[in-house]
Amino acid sequence: MPLIATEGLTKRYPGSVTALDGLTLSLEPGIIGLVGANGAGKSTLLRILLGLLEPTSGSATVLGHDVATDGARLRRSVGYMPESDCLPPDSSATDFVTQMGRWSGLPASAARERAAEVLRHVGLYEERYRQIGGYSTGMKQRVKLAQALVHDPRLLLLDEPTNGLDPAGRDEMLALVRRTGTEFGIAVVVASHLLGEIERVCDFLVAIDAGRLLRAAPLGAFTERTGALAVEVEDNAAALATALTAAGLRVTVDGRTVLVELGDDQQYDAVRDAVAELGLPLVRMQRRRHGLEDLFQ
């Protein structure tokens, strides 16, 4: 049973704005990155998966529950961290997370214990008794994550969890997400417009653009090696290119770098020999990888 499956999921907002356009997906448990530019439909997809929003057409199941008909049971096993502000400033983190635990179906005493537990897990200690209004953005994001975790969900849906955080805060939040996903076996979907961040925490990547699926694959496939070897030399790249072409290799020159199309290992020898013969100062030889950015170009 897939974690999340959608079939032709479409959402049109009034005024002919299409947020999702026939999205069909099947995702297995893990840490899943949902990546796309602002307005690509990430938040819309998460909200449909939670049953907060009704799709215009198409269907979706989460943890085997149909979003349209079995929303209440589905939501019991899901934790949601919205992108927007969702914390009352006049409440303390402890009180707020305890209440959210209760509304998730925990008995009163269990909700209190769980609130203390998850607030500690996200790194809020003494400050959890203070009013949220006085918190930094980083602390607020932690409270938002804590309320999503309080009922020990099987799936976490995180919408831009690093929003508004400074670089150190981002690192900490990403480490927290990664830890929650790997050590505790909770499936996580992280939506972000920042490829660099997503890359650091996810095993699987779903790229959407203008509501359409661009690609869904394990992270490795996105950054898989291309059949090119980059040879960087201090100078005279042109001479190297000529020599390699003469040796029967297909090359292109990019500044100080010569890109060599790879076939088999013998080409490495040809490159080595050519560089040695010309006496060129070699800086590096590296297999080229696709950057995630290439996806959106």
Partner 1 sequence: MSGAAGNIYDLGYRGYDGPRVGRRAVAVALLRQTLAASYGIGRGGRAKLVPFGLGALGLLPAVLAVGIAALVSQAGPAGPNLEEASPIRHDTYQGLSATIVMLFCAAQAPELFGRDQRYGVLPLYFSRSLGRADYALARLGGLALAVFALSIAPHIVLTLGAVLAATDPLTGLANEAHEVPRALAISVLDAGLLAGVAGVIAAWTPRRAYATAAIIGAFIVPPIVVALSARLAAGGLARALVLVTPGDLLDGANAAIYGSIPDSPAVAAAGLPAWSYLAAAALGIAVCVTLMLRRYVRITV
Give the shortest CB-30-to-partner 1 separation in angstroms.
17
Rank residues 82 and 218 by Cβ distance to partner 1 and give the closer one: 82
Residue 84, C-beta contacts closer than 8 angstroms, at least 6 positions apart: none
Give the shortest CB-168-to-partner 1 separation in angstroms.
20
Q: What are the b/e assignments for 175-195, b being 16+ CB within 10 Å?
A: ebbbebbeeeebbbbbbbbeb
Q: Is the dihedral of CA 39, 40, 46, 51 positive or negative?
A: positive
Rank residues 33 and 153 by Cβ distance to partner 1 and give the closer one: 153
Rank residues 117 and 199 by Cβ distance to partner 1 and give the closer one: 117
Looking up tokens 């909200």 gives 47
Rank residues 86 and 210 by Cβ distance to partner 1 and give the closer one: 86
Rank residues 108 and 278 by Cβ distance to partner 1 and give the closer one: 108
What is the Cα–Cα distance from 145 to 81, expressed in whole angstroms? Answer: 6
Give the residue among 266, 224, 226 at the shortest CA–CA distance from 244.
Answer: 266
Give the shortest CB-156-to-partner 1 separation in angstroms.
11
Helix, strand, or coil (residue 202): coil
Rank residues 45 and 50 by Cβ distance to partner 1 and give the closer one: 50
Residue 82, C-beta contacts closer than 8 angstroms, at least 6 positions apart: 144, 159
What is the Cα–Cα distance from 124 to 137, expressed in whole angstroms? Answer: 13
Cβ-defined contacts of 16-25 (< 8 Å, 24+): 18/210, 18/211, 19/44, 19/211, 20/44, 20/45, 20/48, 20/55, 20/58, 20/211, 21/210, 21/211, 21/212, 22/58, 22/212, 23/58, 23/208, 23/211, 23/212, 23/213, 24/213, 25/206, 25/213, 25/216
* Residue 131 DSSP symbol: B
Give the shortest CB-286-to-partner 1 separation in angstroms.
38
Interaction site with partner 1 (CB under 8 A)? 47, 50-53, 72-73, 75-76, 78, 80, 82, 84-90, 95, 99-100, 102-108, 110, 114, 117-118, 121, 147, 149, 151-152, 179-180, 183-184
Rank residues 121 and 193 by Cβ distance to partner 1 and give the closer one: 121
Give the shortest CB-79-to-partner 1 separation in angstroms.
8
What is the Cα–Cα distance from 275 to 282, expressed in whole angstroms? Answer: 7
Give the shortest CB-229-to-partner 1 separation in angstroms.
43
Give the shortest CB-70-to-partner 1 separation in angstroms.
11
Rank residues 70 and 199 by Cβ distance to partner 1 and give the closer one: 70
Give the shortest CB-283-to-partner 1 separation in angstroms.
44
